[in-house]
C-alpha cells in the first residue's frame, strides 16, 4: 500500500511538471500581445509597445522566460499579473478556497440528495418513485448548467427574491449572508451531478441486488432493510465513489459558467478575466494550480478506492 501511494505521488508530480511546461510553452507560442492591452487603443504606438515589452521581459528568448518562470514556481512565486501588477500568489490564494467551497458544497448536496434518491429508485424499481426520480435525472443530465443556473437566478434571486442573486460576502464578515449567497450557485452546480450520482446508485444497487450473496441474505430471512443497507449498499457504493471523484472534475469545469453567471469571485472567473485581458502569467498560474488540484483529486479518489474496495490489493 505504501509503495503504491509513493508511486502514485511521483507520477502525479511528474504529470504536473509536464503540464506546467506545456502550458507555459503553449501560451508563449500563441498570437496576441499583452503590451497592446496594457497600453490601450490610443496609446499603442510601435515604440511604446516595444518599450512595454522590454519592461515586462517579453522580448527575452522564450526559453529564458520559461526558465525564469519555472524557477519562480519552484520557489512558490507564481509571478506578477500584467494588468494589475500585483503578485498572483496571494490573489489566487484568496480565490482558491471560494471555488473549492463551491465544489465541496455542490458535491455534498449532490451526494446527500443523489444517493438516497438512487436507493429509493432502486427499491421501487419501475414503480412511481422510480419513474419520477429517473425522469428528473434525465432532465437535469441533459440541461446545460448555464441554463439551470440562469433559471434559478432569475426565479429565486430576482423574481421571488428569496435569496441573494449574485455576489459574495466573506464568511468572516457575515456567516449567514455568506451561506445565503452560496445556495444558488452551489445548487445550480449540483443538479447535474446529483442526476449522475442518482443514476449510478440506482443501477449499481440493482446489479448488486441480483448477486448471489444478496439472495443468500434474503433467504436467511434477514429484514429487507438490513439486506439493503448492510449487505447490498456497501458494495453498490464503490462505483459511486469513483463517479463522485470523476465528477469533481466536471464540477470544476462547471464553476467556469457558474462563477460567471453568479459573479462568484473564484479561480474560474479569475481565469476568464485573465484570458480576456491576455494576462499570460495569471493564465499560466491558474491553469497550473487547477491541473494540480485535478491531479490530486484523482490521486485521492484512487486512494479512497483502494481503501474501501476489499477486492483490490496493492503491492
Interactions with another protein, residue window 259-288 (CB under 8 A): 260-263, 265, 268-273, 275-278, 283, 287
Q: Site for another protein (CB under 8 A): which residue of 4, 5, 8, 33?
A: 33
Question: What is the smallest separation between the CB atom of 253 and another protein, expressed in angstroms?
Answer: 3
State which residue, 48 or 60, has the beta carbon closest to another protein.
48
State which residue, 1 or 154, has the beta carbon closest to another protein.
154
Greatest CA separation found in the chain?
A: 87
Q: CB under 8 A: which stretch of 33-41, 65-73, 100-108, 230-238 binds another protein?
A: 33-41
CA 112 from centroid of its chain's CA atoms = 18
User: Quick one: cell of 280?
Assistant: 499570460
> 3-class SS at 310?
coil
User: b/e map of 89-115 (b: 16 or more CB within 10 Å)?
Assistant: bebbeebbebbebbbebbbebbbebbb
State which residue, 95 or 231, has the beta carbon closest to another protein.
95
> 3-class SS at 120?
helix
Map the footprint of another protein across residues 67-86, applying CB under 8 A: 81, 83-86
State which residue, 46 or 221, has the beta carbon closest to another protein.
46
State which residue, 114 or 266, has the beta carbon closest to another protein.
266
Rounded CA separation 307/234 (Å): 13
What do you get for the CA distance between the two ends of the chain, in Å?
Answer: 6
Rounded CA separation 138/134 (Å): 6
Q: Which helix (H) or strand (E) holds 265?
A: none
CA-based radius of gyration for the chain: 24
Question: With binding defined as CB under 8 A, does residue 28 bind another protein?
Answer: no
Q: CB under 8 A: which stretch of 11-19, 63-71, 212-220, 301-309 binds another protein?
A: 11-19
* Binding residues for another protein, total number by CB under 8 A: 80
- Whether the CA torsion 193, 194, 198, 201 is positive or negative: it is positive
Rounded CA separation 227/229 (Å): 6
> 3-class SS at 246?
helix
Q: What is the DSSP letter of 222?
A: -
Map the footprint of another protein across residues 108-167, applying CB under 8 A: 138-139, 141-147, 150, 153-154, 157-158, 161, 164-167
> 3-class SS at 301?
helix
State which residue, 100 or 222, has the beta carbon closest to another protein.
100
> 3-class SS at 80?
strand
State which residue, 144 or 175, has the beta carbon closest to another protein.
144
Rounded CA separation 309/315 (Å): 15
Q: CB under 8 A: which stretch of 27-35, 64-72, 121-129, 226-234 binds another protein?
A: 27-35
Question: What is the smallest separation between the CB atom of 37 and another protein, expressed in angstroms?
Answer: 5
Question: What is the smallest separation between the CB atom of 132 and another protein, expressed in angstroms?
Answer: 17
Question: What is the smallest separation between the CB atom of 220 and another protein, expressed in angstroms?
Answer: 28
Question: What is the smallest separation between the CB atom of 221 and another protein, expressed in angstroms?
Answer: 30
Map the footprint of another protein across residues 186-215, applying CB under 8 A: none
Q: CB under 8 A: which stretch of 45-53, 60-68, 116-124, 209-217 binds another protein?
A: 45-53
User: Quick one: cell of 238?
Assistant: 464503490
Amino acid at each position: 500500500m505504501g509503495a503504491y501511494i509513493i508511486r502514485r505521488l511521483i507520477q502525479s508530480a511528474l504529470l504536473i511538471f509536464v503540464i506546467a511546461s506545456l502550458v507555459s510553452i503553449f501560451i508563449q507560442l500563441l498570437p496576441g500581445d499583452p503590451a497592446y492591452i496594457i497600453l490601450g487603443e490610443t496609446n499603442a504606438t510601435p515604440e511604446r509597445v516595444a518599450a512595454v515589452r522590454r519592461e515586462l521581459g517579453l522580448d527575452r528568448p522564450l526559453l529564458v522566460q520559461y526558465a525564469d518562470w519555472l524557477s519562480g514556481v519552484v520557489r512558490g512565486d507564481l509571478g506578477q499579473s500584467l494588468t494589475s501588477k500585483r503578485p498572483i500568489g496571494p490573489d489566487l490564494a484568496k480565490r482558491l478556497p471560494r471555488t473549492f467551497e463551491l465544489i465541496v458544497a455542490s458535491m455534498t448536496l449532490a451526494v446527500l440528495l443523489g444517493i438516497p434518491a438512487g436507493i429509493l429508485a432502486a427499491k421501487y424499481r419501475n414503480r412511481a418513485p422510480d419513474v419520477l426520480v429517473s425522469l428528473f435525472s434525465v432532465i437535469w443530465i441533459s440541461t446545460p448548467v448555464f441554463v439551470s443556473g440562469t433559471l434559478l437566478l432569475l426565479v429565486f434571486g430576482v423574481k421571488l427574491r428569496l435569496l441573494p442573486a449574485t455576489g459574495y460576502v466573506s464568511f468572516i464578515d457575515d456567516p449567514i449572508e455568506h451561506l445565503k449567497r452560496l445556495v444558488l450557485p452551489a445548487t445550480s452546480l449540483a443538479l447535474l451531478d446529483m442526476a449522475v450520482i442518482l443514476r449510478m446508485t440506482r443501477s449499481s444497487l440493482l446489479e448488486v441486488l441480483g448477486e448471489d450473496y444478496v439472495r443468500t441474505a434474503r433467504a436467511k430471512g434477514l429484514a429487507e432493510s438490513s439486506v439493503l443497507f448492510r449487505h447490498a449498499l456497501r458494495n453498490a457504493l464503490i462505483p459511486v465513489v469513483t463517479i463522485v471523484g470523476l465528477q469533481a472534475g466536471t464540477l470544476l469545469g462547471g464553476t467556469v459558467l457558474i462563477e460567471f453567471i453568479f459573479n462568484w469571485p473564484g479561480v474560474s472567473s479569475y481565469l476568464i478575466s485573465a484570458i480576456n485581458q491576455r494576462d499570460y502569467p495569471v493564465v499560466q498560474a491558474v491553469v497550473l494550480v487547477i491541473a494540480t488540484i485535478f491531479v490530486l483529486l484523482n490521486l485521492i479518489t484512487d486512494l479512497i478506492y483502494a481503501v474501501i474496495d476489499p477486492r483490490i490489493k496493492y503491492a
